[in-house]
Chain A
Amino acid sequence: NAGVTQTPKFQVLKTGQSMTLQCAQDMNHEYMSWYRQDPGMGLRLIHYSVGAGITDQGEVPNGYNVSRSTTEDFPLRLLSAAPSQTSVYFCASSSGNTIYFGEGSWLTVV
């Protein structure tokens, strides 16, 4: 059972570089989301989608873009990486109340 799959697991970027974190789910969930997790701050919502073609901003969307061309995929793009974006990123999906998370992507911006 794959569930929610994120890639890459680890990434180091230089300030100003762009990159895309990939996320795929095989549970046919309508809702997908991206969170960042920083020490002592819990999970903060970056962007979310309630279905293909629909995206919306969360609590901390600045510096990130998303798209939802298919039900399965929800990539997160960092447009111009900044040290403040050093964090652990989690993709998640849900079809009802229970939300399921990927294993995380550790991103360091130097």
Chain B
Amino acid sequence: GESVGLHLPTLSVQEGDNSIINCAYSNSASDYFIWYKQESGKGPQFIIDIRSNMDKRQGQRVTVLLNKTVKHLSLQIAATQPGDSAVYFCAEIASGTYKYIFGTGTRLKVLA
């Protein structure tokens, strides 16, 4: 079936290093992708999004890359900080459907 999945359930990085969190999707009809950050005890928080007509989009310290050929999405966090420790998950949707598909998440641990 259609699914959104993450390759690494837990990622540990040193403070100051760059982090890369990956996501695979399988629905070719999806044309909009979102990354969320979820801190312990809180709701998912929107980080960045990207449309399928783009390959890359940058935000503040975050970059999302989309490779439609292999149906792969990644979130890059530059100069990872302790406050970046959280669960990150991706979501996909085909525009106009409201049918969101969420991944289970990757836990990012920032080591001091």
Answer whether A99 and B34 are a contact pair too, CB < 8 Å, given A31-B98, A42-B104, A48-B98.
yes
Collect the chain A residues with CB atoms within 8 Å of residue B91's CB. Answer: 99
Q: Is the CB of B42 within 8 A of A104?
A: yes
Q: Which residue of A lies closest to B3 (CB)?
A: A42
B33-44 Cβ-contact flags toward A at 8 Å (1 or 0)? 010100001111
A64 contacts the other chain (Cβ, under 8 Å)?
no
A33 and B32 alpha carbons, distance in the complex (Å): 19
Pick the residue among B32, B34, B43, B98 that contacts A90 (CB under 8 A): B43
Q: How far is the CB of B10 from chain A (nearest CB, A)?
A: 12
Within 8 A of A (CB), among B42-82: 42-46, 49
- Distance to closest chain B CB from A47 (angstroms): 12
Q: Known: A97-B32, A97-B93. Contact between A42 and B102, CB under 8 A?
A: yes
Considering the chains assembled together, what is the distance between the CA atoms of A45 and B98 in angstroms?
Answer: 11
Cβ of B42 and Cβ of A42 under 8 Å apart? no
Q: Is the CB of B98 within 8 A of A103?
A: no
Across the interface, which residues of B come within 8 angstroms of A99, CB to CB?
Answer: 34, 91, 100
Number of interface residues of B (CB under 8 A): 20
Q: Which of A4, A43, A102 has the most CB of B within 10 A?
A: A43
The answer for the CA separation of A43 and B91 in the assembled complex, in Å, is 10
Asked if A52 is at the interface (CB within 8 A of a chain B CB), the reply is no
Q: Determine the residue in chain B with the shortest Cβ distance to A101.
A: B43
| Segment 14-45 of B: residues with Cβ below 8 Å from A | 32, 34, 36, 41-45
Does B88 have its Cβ within 8 Å of any Cβ on chain A?
A: no
0/1 string, A1-12, CB within 8 A of B gives 1: 000100000000
Q: Is A94 an interface residue (CB 8 A)?
A: yes
User: CB of A53 within 8 A of chain B?
Assistant: no
For residue A103, give the distance in angstroms from its CB to the closest CB of chain B: 5
User: B residues within 8 A CB of A84?
Assistant: none
**Which B residues are CB-close (under 8 A) to A90?**
43-44
